[in-house]
């Protein structure tokens, strides 16, 4: 395989890109003329998404990837290295709710473990496996898909389910945890050129919420595409939605 470290095309990898917001992030980045790795754990769903993206003119390639599995993530990083030589943009989009209801008095340890394993540890696992390839990029960017429901400020001032989601002892706290970890990454990566930020897509109609969301996946993808295309010297360690900065 040829490693394209000197190629001037931009290459991105999106986790959980077979459907929902992740698919539309891949479509959006592909629309910029970028080459896009479709990270997905299921072979059929991944192949279908790659075919659909290619039919829409996107230079897409499949990357088998289960973010909860060390061997899968290691193999994904190896595939990107062998095929692309470097990575310019990583979008950590894959996420799960762990199933509702999950009131704190009812949540099971298994629910908590599953959600944190995917939404937090999965992001750390994927990021650390791909960072060596991102460091080869002139303008590396990492976007972590968080949610406004991870905002403790918002959770504390309102019970409006449109901005805080249902009471959840696993999903919302997993995004708060992800926010905290992302801030630590930003501190460690300061001065390296790697910009890492958190995106909230709004309340989007996808499988995640039984399609009860009020925004389209295309609308939800916009903030991630924006943070993936930040100029050098742009913000890092920030928490953003379309309307601007989200309070922690
Ligand atoms: N929808 C909203 O209103 C909303 C709001 C705020 C934040 N978000 C965040 O946005 C992101 C995308 O959510 P969505 O709404 O688009 O949900 P979705 O349609 O359910 O998509 C979730 C994606 O994550 C993938 N995934 C889950 N576990 C995985 C694993 N272990 N390894 C690899 N991929 C995995 C799923 O793959 P499979 O098809 O194989 O399950 C799917 O591609 C999530 O991080 C979510 O928390 C969503």
Nearest CA to ligand 1 atom 33: 66
d(CA 7, ligand 1 centre) in Å? 31
CATH superfamily, with its number, for domain 11-245: NAD(P)-binding Rossmann-like Domain (3.40.50.720)
Summarize pLDDT for 153-175 with one digit per residue, the tens: 999 887 777 778 889 999 999 99
Radius of gyration of the chain (CA): 17
Q: For residue 171, which atom of ligand 1 is closest to its CA?
A: 47
| Ligand 1 and 22: CB distance under 6 A | yes
pLDDT for the residue numbered 1: 36
Q: Is the pLDDT of residue 233 over 70?
A: yes
Distance from Cα 8 to the centre of ligand 1, integer Å: 30
pLDDT at 148 over 90: yes
Which of 21, 147, 176 to mutate to test ligand 1, by most ligand atoms within 8 A of the CB atom? 21
Task: Ligand 1, residue 149: give the atom nearest the CA.
Answer: 6
How many residues make up the chain in this entry?
A: 248
Is the CB of 142 within 6 Å of ligand 1?
no
In the residue annotation, 171 being an active-site residue is answered as yes
- Overall average pLDDT of the 213-240 stretch: 98
With a 6 Å cutoff on the Cβ, whether 43 touches ligand 1 is: no
CA dihedral sign, ordered 116, 17, 87, 31: negative
Nearest CA to ligand 1 atom 17: 208
Residue 129's pLDDT band, with cuts at 50, 70 and 90, is very high
Cα 59 from Cα 66, distance rounded (Å): 22
pTM of the model: 0.97
Q: Which two tokens stand for residue 122?
A: 């999965």
Q: How far is Cα 132 from Cα 189, in angstroms, rounded to an integer?
A: 12
**What pLDDT is attached to residue 157?**
83
The whole-number pLDDT of residue 160 equals 74
The pLDDT tens digits for 72-115 are 999 999 999 999 999 999 999 999 999 998 999 999 999 999 99
Ligand 1 atom with the shortest distance to the CA of 19? 43
Alpha carbon of 5 to ligand 1 centroid (Å): 30
Residue 3, pLDDT > 50, answer no
Q: How many CB atoms lie within 10 A of CB 180?
A: 12
């Amino acid at each position: 395989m040829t490693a394209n470290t000197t190629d001037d095309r931009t290459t991105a990898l999106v986790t959980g890109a077979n459907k929902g917001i992740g698919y539309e992030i891949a479509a959006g980045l592909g629309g910029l003329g970028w080459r896009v790795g479709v990270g997905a754990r299921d072979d059929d769903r991944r192949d279908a998404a790659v075919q659909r993206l290619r039919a829409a003119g996107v230079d897409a390639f499949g990357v088998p990837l289960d973010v909860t599995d060390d061997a899968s993530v290691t193999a994904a990083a190896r595939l990107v290295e062998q095929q692309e030589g470097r990575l310019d943009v990583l979008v950590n989009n894959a996420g799960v709710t762990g199933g509702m209801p999950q009131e704190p008095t009812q949540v099971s340890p298994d629910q908590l473990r599953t959600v944190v394993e995917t939404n937090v540890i999965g992001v750390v696992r994927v990021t650390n496996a791909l960072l060596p390839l991102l460091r080869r990029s002139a303008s590396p960017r990492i976007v972590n898909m968080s949610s406004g429901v991870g905002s403790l400020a918002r959770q504390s001032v309102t019970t409006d389910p449109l901005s805080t989601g249902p009471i959840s002892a696993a999903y919302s706290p997993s995004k708060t945890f992800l926010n905290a970890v992302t801030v630590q990454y930003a501190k460690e990566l300061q001065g390296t050129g790697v910009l890492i930020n958190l995106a909230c897509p709004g309340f989007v109609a996808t499988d995640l919420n039984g399609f009860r969301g009020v925004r389209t996946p295309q609308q939800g993808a916009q903030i991630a595409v924006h943070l993936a295309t930040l100029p050098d010297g742009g913000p890092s360690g920030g928490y953003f939605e379309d309307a601007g900065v989200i309070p922690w």
